Amino acid sequence: MLENCGGDNGDDERWSLHPDEASQTKFRQVSSIVCMPPPDQVLENVLEIVLCFLTSHRDRNAASLVCKSWFRAEAQTRQELFIGNCYAVSPARAIDRFRGVRSLVLKGKPRFADFNLVPLGWGARFSPWVAGMSPAYPWLERICLKRMTVADADLVLLARSFTSFRDLSLLSCDGFTTAGLAAIAENCRRLRSLDLIENDVEDDEDEVVDWVSRFPPGKTCLESLVFDCVGFAVNFGALEALVARSPRLRRLRVNDYISVGRLCRLMSLAPQLTHLGTGSFSTFEGEGDFRAILESAFMASKSLVCLSGYRNLAIDYLPTIYPACANLISLNLSYAQITADMLGPVITRCHNLQTFWVLDSVRDEGLQMVAATCKNLRELRVFPLDPTEDSEGSVSDIGLQAISEGCKHLESILYFCQSMTNAAVVAMSNNCQDLLVFRLCIMGRHRPDHLTGEPMDEGFGAIVQNCKNLTRLAVSGLLTDNAFSYIGKYGKSVKTLSVAFAGNSDLGLRYVLEGCPKLQKLEIRDSPFGDAGLLSGIHHYYNMRFLWMSSCKITLTGCKEVARRLPHMVVEVIRDRPEDDSGSFMEKAYMYRSLVGPRNDAPPFVKLL
Amino acid sequence: MEGRTDLEYCDNLEATELRLGLPGIDRAAAVSKANKRASGDDCDLKRSPPKAQVVGWPPVRSSYRKNSFQEKRLEAADIAGAGIFVKVSMDGAPYLRKIDLRIYRGYKELREALEDMFKFLPFPSLQCHEILDVEACNESEDAIAYEDKDGDWMLAGDVPWEMFISSCRRLRIMKGSEARGLASSP
């Protein structure tokens, strides 16, 4: 800290020395002066200590803008690096600025990649990042990746480079196999969590590696092991032994190759679990009846607050979880095809439930039961058993209305249905004013209010008007430009907006782009918005993380105009066919701000303007 | 803009198709259900005929789509409801893909998914035939072939869907000329 405090402040009188005396005199001066660094240095020291308490990256970004000194102090002390779009900055640049990073959060592909709208091989590879970080961040402890392509080689490099590595979270990633997992298990001796959530693990069946056996012998530091997305059997003996020697294990989510018999054994070894993913929750061939044992296992697991799994639920086994229900904060039954009758005895015991995910097979009746009991519900997701447009609607406006009346503290909802009414949506906007996330998916495209025949404009309008804290909105059903004018007028906190098969004209897009100052993520598909709408957002695109528009009415000309007027925007046009259709509408356009210009790893079907 | 316009035509073809297999899970059943509902409900009179599937709609992740096929009666040799995963290779493509045959309802959906997966490689426009008609293939046409449990390579589309998914071991998208050779062999 006794280094020169920088060239910005010229008044370094205390340190001015004759050049030829410099080296010797400097040391003498240091020893004779009672360590009094210049005031700016003091300030920077204090600042660094104070900044340690700033954890939010937004706050840190703001602090770094105050002046150069603050910029430096902040850059030195930032421990968690959050990069919302891996192409907004390059590894080299990020590493150059932030030297002391311990934790990385990195997101890649646009969200619509989850629904097969982004072709294979588009990008978001983790390789250049891990290659850059490997020499630069030897103390890296935590990596969280979302929608990135992660190769086995990347995992091997990761495991070898970071000796203090503790937490790995992979969400919706692809590109790796069990061989990569084995490298992590084997080499990360301080591993605390390995959370694999909804990834596409791409092994060949004959090449599956026994990764669970690769954890080193002796007590582990494991607190969280989540592998329900790994679609291959694991070595159960090794898993059992691993759980037995992991006294700190709190979260365990197994895949559907674990039967109830095996689950019982794991639970008996780890009664301290707080989060349990139950695997298949059925018996395998010749296993016998485990209901009594399982029920006592749930009785003994007094710390359980979160249950999930039920990938292939044997309905006779559902009652075994009753003893655990009263303590549950979170319950995920979205893989279990159950009716309201089956749900009843479970949900009526779940008085403390805050998060509930379920299939619409429980129907409106099931949702009424939820509304009657779960007064503290904060998050609800209702998924479709049959995710097609023509399926029989199982939940409807009746269920939504019931939830709104019973669960007044609701903050987040994702609701799939075949049709809806404005009245129910308006009711929700009035009853649940704490809503932060409102995602309604009316699966029938362009479907109006099924009672009045009118567009769903009024319902969504009420949501943005009454739910003042709303940050995320997904709209559906028959919607005119009016819906968007409401969003633009009232949706002042909206950050994320998802639009599909909606709107009449460019006006709709204009309303949103001109009206929503906090908008950061906008994804639109199959809506009649053209170049005029696109260009109406020029003033705002630098404030956004990204804009996605597919199957709309924008043309190459419009996209080129955006690229021309906003030099720091990267505009990608993604083609499904390699033919040249310069006159027609752009199939897919994805644009985002970037500090480093167009990427150099784009595949042939991506054109960068 | 939304999908292929000739799919409406294909829906009609399905009605006349002979099928073996378990009732209640094919598209025909869903269609008739939808029609019954339309006649009962006032407002549903406005509803158009059942629409063709659009890519990525409804926005449900593939792990959830599998749920619609976790019928208990579809017990096969696989364990605990795991899907039927087969490797797919395409001539000229540098990588393999793996897909779960359980999540598709028929050949049309399978072809659409494969087209989606191998999108950026030349792939001809959809031929509107539920049962792939080899005679209609021209030189540039790609065909879907599969290796069955006896190790023989067959053209996909000749047997009923359920029979196909239970005997298919791997898939290969091959060039038209080679495919014709396959079709004409005994």
Question: Which H, E and C letters describe A259-293, residue by residue?
Answer: CHHHHHHHHHHCCCCCEEEECCCCCCCCCCCCHHH
To the nearest whole Å, the CA of B25 is away from the closest chain A CA by: 11
Which residue in A has a C-alpha nearest to residue B64's C-alpha? Answer: A335
Beta strands in A491-561 (DSSP E): 496-500, 521-525, 546-550
Check: CB of residue B81 under 8 Å from CB of residue A256: yes
Q: By the CB < 8 Å criterion, does B54 face chain A?
A: yes
Best residue of B120, B121, B170 to probe chain A, by most A CBs closer than 10 Å: B120
Question: Is the Cβ pair A387, B85 closer than 8 Å?
Answer: no
* pLDDT band at residue B180 under the 50/70/90 scheme: low
Distance of CA A552 to the CA centre of its chain: 26
Counting one residue from chain A and one from chain B, the pairs whose CB atoms sit within 8 A come to 132
Q: Phi and psi of A581, rounded to 5°?
A: -120, 65
pLDDT at res. B18: 56
The answer, for B176 touching chain A at a CB cutoff of 8 Å, is no
Least confident of A110-114, A161-165, A528-532, B111-115: B111-115
Q: Are strands A546-550 and A588-593 parallel, antiparallel or unpaired?
A: antiparallel
Residue A594 to chain B, least CA–CA distance (Å): 25
- B98 in contact with A at a CB cutoff of 8 Å? yes
Residue A166 in tokens: 């503790």
Q: What is the DSSP string of B18-29?
A: ---S-TTSSHHH
Q: Residues of B with CB below 8 A from A385's CB? A: 67-68
Given this model, what pLDDT does residue B69 score?
40
| Whole-angstrom distance, CA of residue A340 vs CA of residue A328 | 19
- Identify which of A172, A204, A165 has the alpha carbon closest to the alpha carbon of residue A187: A165
Q: What is the pLDDT of residues A187-225, one digit of tens each?
A: 999 999 999 999 988 777 778 899 999 999 999 999 999
Preferred mutation among A197, A281, A390 to probe B, highest tally of B CBs within 10 A? A390
Q: How many whole angstroms separate alpha carbon B114 and alpha carbon B97?
A: 9
Is residue B108 predicted with pLDDT exceeding 70?
A: yes
pLDDT at A15 over 50: no
pLDDT for A485-497, tens place per residue?
Answer: 999 999 999 999 9
Q: Indicate the pTM of the whole model.
A: 0.76
Under a CB-based contact definition with an 8 Å cutoff, are residues A425 and A440 in contact?
A: yes
- Distance between CA atoms of residues A369 and A410, nearest Å: 15
Residue A558, phi then psi, degrees to nearest 5:
-60, -45
Q: Which of A488, A547, A497, A483 shows the shortest CA–CA distance to A517?
A: A488
Q: Among A169-183, A291-305, B53-67, whose mean pLDDT is lowest?
A: B53-67
Q: What is the mean pLDDT of the segment spanning A559-567?
A: 95
Can you tell me the distance from the alpha carbon of B13 to that of B16, in angstroms, rounded to the nearest whole number? 6
pLDDT in tens, B26-54: 443 333 333 333 333 333 344 445 556 68
pLDDT digits (tens, 9 = 90+) for A222-275: 999 999 999 889 999 999 999 999 999 999 999 999 999 999 999 999 999 999
Above pLDDT 90, what percent of chain B?
2
Cβ A122 vs Cβ A603: under 8 Å: yes
Contact in structure between A396 and A364 (CB atoms under 8 Å): yes
Q: Kindly report the nearest CA distance between residue A185 and chain B, in angstroms.
A: 25
Of residues A295 and A284, more confidently modeled: A295
State whether B30 and A391 contact (CB < 8 Å).
Answer: yes
Chain B nearest C-alpha distance from A58 (Å): 30
Q: Report d(CA B41, CA B39) in Å as an integer.
A: 6
Query: Closest residue of B to A418, CA-based?
Result: B58
Contact A383 B60 (CB under 8 A): yes
What's the CA gap between A472 and B151, in Å, rounded? 52
Of all residues in chain A, the one with the smallest CA distance to B170 is A204
CA nearest neighbour of B86 among B132, B148, B143: B148
> In A, which residues are within 8 Å of B33 by CB distance?
390, 392
Is the four-CA dihedral A519, A520, A525, A528 of positive or negative sign?
Answer: positive
CA distance B64 to chain A (A): 7
Whether residue B68 and residue A117 make contact (CB cut-off 8 A), yes or no, is no
Q: Does the structure's ipTM exceed the value 0.85? A: no
Comparing C-alpha atoms, which of A172, A152, A165, A211 is closest to residue A192? Answer: A165
Residue A178 has pLDDT above 90, yes or no: yes
- Contact check, Cβ <8 Å, A500/B122: no
Interface membership of B32 toward A (CB under 8 Å): no
Reply yes or no on whether the pLDDT at A552 is more than 60: yes
Smallest CA–CA distance, residue A192 to chain B, in Å, is 27
pLDDT computed for residue B176 by the predictor: 64
Residue of A199, A207, A388 for testing the chain B interface, max B β-carbons within 10 Å: A388
The chain-wide mean pLDDT, for chain A, equals: 90
List for chain A the helix, strand, coil content (%; round to 5): 35, 15, 45
